[in-house]
Chain A
Amino acid sequence: MPDEEIAEEGILTPIQPAVQDPLLRELLADQAPLDTPLAQPQPTPTPPETVDCVVIGLGAGGSPLLARLAQAGLKVVALEAGPWHNPEKDFATDEAAQDFLFWNDERLAAGKDPLAMGRNNSGTGVGGSTLHYTAYTPRPLPDDLHLKRDFGQGEDWPLTYDDLAPYFEEVEQFLGVSGPTPYPWGPARPKGYALPPLPLNSAAQLMLRGAEKIGIRTSPAANAALSGRYYQEGVGWREACTNRGFCQAGCSNGAKSSMDVTYIPLAVKYGADIRPHSFVTEIERDARGYVVAVVYTQNGTPHRLPCRNLFLCGGSVETPRLLLLNELANTSGQVGRNLMAHTGVQVWGTFADEVRPNKGIPGGLISQDTHRPADADFVGGYLLQSIGVMPVTFAGQVARGRKLWGQPLRDYMRQYNRIAGINILGDCLPHADNFLEISDELDGRQLPKPRLHFTAQENELRMNAHAERTMRRIWEAAGATDIWAFGRYAHVIGTARMGLSGDDAVVDRDGRAFDVPNLYICDNSTFPSALSVNPALTIMALSLRTADKFLERERRRDK
């Protein structure tokens, strides 16, 4: 334990974790020998200013609330592990060159269905994984939030669709989501999408063709990429999408609504202090268990930043890793548990038509007719989505999924311009076998690597089988040949879940940690269930809601 930390008033470092139980804490304090750090408060020379809020992680969870807190006039500092890019100048239209967008520190993938991380499930940099998300922003449907009530399995959210709907609308309008009005599934909405849908690319047209033939209803999808110029506070005019199809390798013209061109500039306008290359290692607490400071490393130099409140938004791997390493907020024992991953099986086919699958928004067409299929033998459901694909990503999937090599691999890849895909995004149930833990293997930062255990259970397997049958039928109807399926799981969810009680959840419905009154968590780790839609929109909505609930509480305190 470094001396300068002991010198701080009343600090308990994570090496001596704060005892959360008040009675036990009192008993222990009575017995504490005189030379403990607690008993030795010493003045420190010019302590750094205490900021109102520190936000760790600048993805979909951290950025909207950062803007909201800054707009409320609070002094906020954001610590982001990765760099701050200038996409127009720095982003090449080349997949390999864009690998820096992914969290490339190694994670260990265990279980029978190990989760691919890196490009599949992670991000780094100011903007987080929104820098390479596909911008797919469907809303969850109301019954996504109460699986347990409907099926007796899974978990219910401590929030309803109506709690979130105003925030969905706000995010959609602010980001400039392009989508159909009215939207064919779910409750009627007071307001339509900000912009009309993006044009359908070849894969979307083919899915439309096949789905029509077998009676599945489709619609142009909602995507957080601009179908026309759009004005936005803190940014100005953003240009329309150029159909470059490189969403998953970084948008170079700012048309895709990643956080770096939306909420982050808004936060900066209102005075937020953004610190890139800042990797947090420690969260310090006082004797009461409140967070008092974070310790982070920026470009190799350690810093200590005192704060009144902490918002942890590192995503569902780094958030639980930081909590576990700091032995924080885990009296429920749920940190790292309940790991879920969306079922994401893809079905590919070869067409006589020219497809050229690299062009256009990748997920152009959606169907939510499979949200609660009549013939389902599983809990929950899934959405269907047409998919375009970049060549190196596709080749990697062909290698892993089909195990083709030699001349057959080259021959198959020569058909790239005739290939199109559909995939699903489906719910997943929590299971005791699926969790994140800290391994004893160190990464490049000399910190233990996280190990993610994931084994698809009966429900996921049945849903995948149902979905694969459905997609094969669509592709056959559309005229595809050489149809094959690539089994995959996307998005890591649920490792610091939200709930009604600290007995079985880490945070409450406002994102506030049950154990630590000034710690908030906002990212996909707090999802109690996986939802049958892509998570980004819901994370952003929760982020704004968490900020509002926090600000309400602060105002009450002022009075």
Chain B
Amino acid sequence: MTFKELLPTDHLSAATRATLVQRLAEAERAPAYEPQFFAPETLRLLEAVAARVFPQPERPVPILLAPAVDRRLAEGRADGWRYDALPPDREAYKLGLGGIQQIAQALFRADFETLAPEKQDAVIEALASGNPPGEVWQTLPADRFFEEILAELTSTYYAHPWAQDEIGYTGYADLPAWTRIGLNEKEPREQPLDTSGGALSLVPTAL
């Protein structure tokens, strides 16, 4: 079963349902999100980067990832640690996003948001390679910054119920007890797998 089918059922505990309903509501409000930490143009840049890290051509409305980052930085939340080689998160994000703009300028003499998708990918690839052009990267370790931004966007993306549907995960629907837990076993409420090696594609083909 998909998230939409499972949500109203007794397979979810009250605490789990409340959490997921709230996350969906936040996601629905995301397109109108007013940044609390970044300047509006910086938030747009971050969303443009996120759109290449998680391209979602099949979704009429993509899962937006930048608002969660902005909200976290505004509230000053941390995940318990940071690389000593990086400055504090707020500073690292501001510097790093400025650095991404510097890579775009160095490679294509244009702002990141204005580039075609394949050129945007080339900018991210330069960042991921660990040695991109740009003054920022003389002091900010590119590999560590890329790892941090990638990990945060990834955690945000896969916390979304649509993304969990995409990978065939139904673990949130954990009532009653799982009894079929061995190889090639599944409960009726779990999603079937397709035969090509992944979960069933839930949406029509890419645009």
Contacts and interface: CB of A to CB of B under 8 A. Distances in A.
A399 B159 CA distance: 14
A355 B16 CA distance: 23
A122 interface: yes
B79 to A, nearest CB: 4
Interface residues of A, number: 70
Contacts of A308: none
Interface string B34-73: 0000000000000000001111000000000000000000
Interface stretch (B98-106, B108-116, B175-183): B175-183
A403 B150 contact: yes
A99 B167 contact: no
Given A96-B159, A395-B158, A242 B177 contact: yes
A406 B55 contact: yes
B96 to A, nearest CB: 15
Contacts of B186: 354, 356
Interface in A82-128: 89-97, 99, 102-110, 114-119, 122
Contact of B169 (A106, A114, A117, A416): A416
Nearest to A444: B76
B199 interface: yes
A135 B155 CA distance: 24
A403 B159 contact: no
A386 to B, nearest CB: 12
Interface in B124-159: 124, 128, 146-147, 150-151, 154-155, 157-159
A177 interface: no
A417 interface: yes
Contacts of A390: 171
A252 interface: yes
A410 interface: yes
Main secondary structure of the interface of A (DSSP, over half): loop
A396 B155 contact: yes
A369 B178 CA distance: 31
A355 B190 CA distance: 12
Chain B interface size band reads 35 or more
A252 B14 CA distance: 12
Nearest to B20: A94
Most buried by B among A400, A405, A411: A405
Given A109-B82, A252-B13, A399-B150, A360 B193 contact: no
A241 to B, nearest CB: 8
A217 B186 CA distance: 28
B31 interface: no
A416 B167 contact: yes
Contact of A418 (B154, B177, B197): B197
A359 B84 contact: no
B18 interface: yes
Contact of B190 (A246, A356, A411): A356
Contacts of A97: 19
A109 B182 CA distance: 38
A206 interface: yes
Residue from the set B14, B158, B178, B190 with the largest chain A CB neighbour count within 10 Å: B158
B154 A90 contact: no
B198 A411 contact: yes
A490 interface: no
Contacts of B55: 406-407, 410
Contacts of A441: 88
Contacts of B176: 242
Contact of B174 (A93, A109, A118): A93
Contacts of B18: 92
Contacts of B33: none
Contacts of B177: 242-244
Nearest to B52: A406
B77 interface: yes
Contacts of A96: 23, 155, 159
A85 B65 CA distance: 30
Given A92-B13, A391-B167, A405-B124, A416 B83 contact: no
A242 B124 contact: no
Interface stretch (A36-44, A49-57, A195-203, A466-474): A195-203
Contacts of A117: 80-81
A409 B56 CA distance: 12
A501 interface: no
A526 interface: no
B70 to A, nearest CB: 16
B138 to A, nearest CB: 20
23 contacts: A92-B13, A95-B159, A99-B79, A106-B81, A108-B84, A117-B80, A117-B81, A199-B181, A201-B182, A202-B183, A202-B185, A242-B176, A243-B178, A244-B177, A252-B15, A354-B184, A356-B181, A356-B185, A391-B169, A400-B147, A403-B128, A418-B197, A441-B88
Given A400-B150, A409-B53, 15 more contacts: A90-B15, A92-B15, A93-B12, A94-B159, A102-B80, A104-B77, A114-B85, A199-B181, A242-B178, A245-B171, A252-B13, A353-B183, A354-B185, A392-B158, A413-B166
